[in-house]
Amino acid sequence: MDDRISKDARIRSLVAAALEGRLTDSGAGELAALDRNLIKLAFLAAARRIAELQGKVALAGPDHPSTPSGQKPPYVKPPAPKRKGKVGAKVGHAGSRRPAPRQIDRREEHRLEACPDCGGELQRCKRKRTRTVEDILKDLKTEVTEHTIHRDYCPSCKKHVEPTVPDALPNATIGNNLVAMTGWLHYGIGVTIAQVRELVGIHLHTGLSAGGLVSAWHRLGELLAPWHEQIAQAARASAVLNADETGWRVNGKTHWLWCFASKDACYYMIDHSRGRDVLDKFFLEAFDGVLVHDFWAAYNHVLAQDHQCCLAHLLRELEKVDLTNQSPAWKAFAKKLRRLIRDGIRLRKRADFDPARYGELIRRIDRRLMELARGDHGDADASRLAKRLLKYCDSIFTFLDHPLVPYDNNHGERMIRPAVIIRKNSQSNRSDKGAATQAILMSIYRTLKLRGQDPLAIVASALKTRLAIGHLPTLPIQSVADG
């Protein structure tokens, strides 16, 4: 699991290579080995590349005024100019909805057996409408389906009723598999919208607009919101929880992306605050577990069974001070603190470690900590850190009392890093709605990965169930295969 994040980075570079036509046999093999879904990307990219070489690719559209630009990979293009004003056509202008696809592969009829509201018998009418949905199948073939939807009349409800088409979100022209796959590429791995369109769009008869994708993801986020809440509940119920936060921007304003991660749940929230109010919003009540975090003061206000501060942070701080402070007083303090931390970690790493067995040694380490924290060290840096040790004295060696607790916040930092990469790729969110979708979908894709589940299949089938019967299945738990 340690290398999951570097995996994602590797995936992004392989995707870029594939789009550029530089994907080698071993690269394709690597994609397949990293994730069974990724071989699909290699095929998509390869097919795209072949079409490009045959000169068939023309990503025609308003943002591609000349075809050659469509043949360039996005990273060699200059960044798109910032769009000013409102998104979409001006009032009074005709919409630029893409034309209906020419070719129909499959036709499907939808007719209700009985009234969905009262269960009563329906009077058959001749009213009907058609709707075309394009989707990508398991074998990566695209399929255009024309759905004929019959509208019948319910005499007791005195209204016309029609069945739901569970294969696609309301008003969407792309099907559930495509929504799940593109959402995973963007929110799960951090592939940019332009790259998603290059990878997937070229295989569709109908093209794939950026606006269409984003609005489909917003609807996906809305429908899957109950899963976001289930992830929060799982995180709050965990015995050990890592927390971290990083800067974010929503509509040009500074926000914070918060991450709460246990071993099988990863919950993100985006908020304008970096303060304890966000933690109150998340925890709702006292946390019956150990919270692992850095020395950011807000975390200390959480009512938890115990806290563990990140000792890697503390050691990094010592290194930072080393660069500017060579005084003997500082050196003596830093040496003592390093030795204390090292002794604590060594004790924990003993093969037969058990808090009860080593109670005496643990108490000795606690005493050394208090001596350092209360001592007079005759150096400003040393005094500042001693003060910190005193403030957090109960949160330094918690990992010696609870063998499941780590002594660093690596897990929290690992879980927040993909978001940092996505922020660099996508410049955070343009609206509160975008931020909400981001938090929901990132949480779901990352939690499914933590649980060893196939995010594409799970999300696509959940979407279908939700559209067919009106409620979501429960978010899957840890897969047995993944242990």
Q: Does residue 118 belong to the site contacting Zn ion (CB under 5 A)?
A: yes
CB of 112 to Zn ion, least distance (A): 10
Q: Which stretch binds Zn ion (CB under 5 A): 76-84, 111-119, 126-134, 266-274?
A: 111-119
Strand ranges across the sheet with 266-271: 266-271, 253-261, 240-250, 287-293, 304-309
CB of 126 to Zn ion, least distance (A): 19
Q: Does residue 234 belong to the site contacting Zn ion (CB under 5 A)?
A: no
Number of residues counted as binding Zn ion (CB under 5 A):
6
Which is closer to Zn ion, CB of 112 or CB of 365?
112
Identify whether the C-beta of residue 299 lies closer than 8 Å to the C-beta of residue 292. no
DSSP 75: G
Instruction: Write out the two tokens for 460.
Output: 């696509």
Q: In whole angstroms, what is the distance from residue 411 CA to residue 393 CA?
A: 22
Q: Does residue 154 belong to the site contacting Zn ion (CB under 5 A)?
A: yes
Q: Does residue 115 belong to the site contacting Zn ion (CB under 5 A)?
A: yes
CB of 113 to Zn ion, least distance (A): 12
Q: Does residue 117 belong to the site contacting Zn ion (CB under 5 A)?
A: yes
Identify whether the C-beta of residue 460 lies closer than 8 Å to the C-beta of residue 471. no
Kindly tell me which residue out of 157, 312, 347, 420 binds Zn ion, with binding defined by CB under 5 A.
157
CB of 154 to Zn ion, least distance (A): 3
Which is closer to Zn ion, CB of 117 or CB of 229?
117
CB of 118 to Zn ion, least distance (A): 3
Q: In whole angstroms, what is the distance from residue 269 CA to residue 439 CA?
A: 5
Q: Does residue 185 belong to the site contacting Zn ion (CB under 5 A)?
A: no
Which is closer to Zn ion, CB of 3 or CB of 117?
117
β-sheet bridge partners, residue 35 = none
Which is closer to Zn ion, CB of 118 or CB of 286?
118
Q: In whole angstroms, what is the distance from residue 105 CA to residue 419 CA?
A: 39
Q: Does residue 475 belong to the site contacting Zn ion (CB under 5 A)?
A: no
Total count of residues recorded for the chain:
483
E strands, 216-294, where? 240-250, 253-261, 266-271, 287-293
Helix/strand/coil (H/E/C) assignment for every residue in 69-93: HHHCCHHHCCCCCCCCCCCCCCCCC
Q: In whole angstroms, what is the distance from residue 442 CA to residue 448 CA?
A: 10
Which is closer to Zn ion, CB of 154 or CB of 208?
154
* Residue listed under structure tokens 């050196």: 331
Helix (H) or strand (E) holding 361: helix 359-374
Q: Does residue 122 belong to the site contacting Zn ion (CB under 5 A)?
A: no
Which is closer to Zn ion, CB of 114 or CB of 390?
114
Q: In whole angstroms, what is the distance from residue 274 CA to residue 416 CA?
A: 15
Identify whether the C-beta of residue 182 lies closer than 8 Å to the C-beta of residue 455. no
CB of 296 to Zn ion, least distance (A): 56
Instruction: Write out the two tokens for 379.
Output: 């150096």
Q: Does residue 125 belong to the site contacting Zn ion (CB under 5 A)?
A: no
* Residue listed under structure tokens 């709702």: 284
Q: Which stretch binds Zn ion (CB under 5 A): 14-22, 74-82, 148-156, 403-411?
A: 148-156
Half-sphere exposure of 387 (CA within 13 A, CB side): 7
CB of 91 to Zn ion, least distance (A): 38
Q: Which stretch binds Zn ion (CB under 5 A): 154-162, 314-322, 341-349, 404-412?
A: 154-162
Q: Which stretch binds Zn ion (CB under 5 A): 114-122, 242-250, 326-334, 436-444?
A: 114-122
Which is closer to Zn ion, CB of 84 or CB of 158?
158
Residue ranges binding Zn ion (CB under 5 A): 115, 117-118, 120, 154, 157
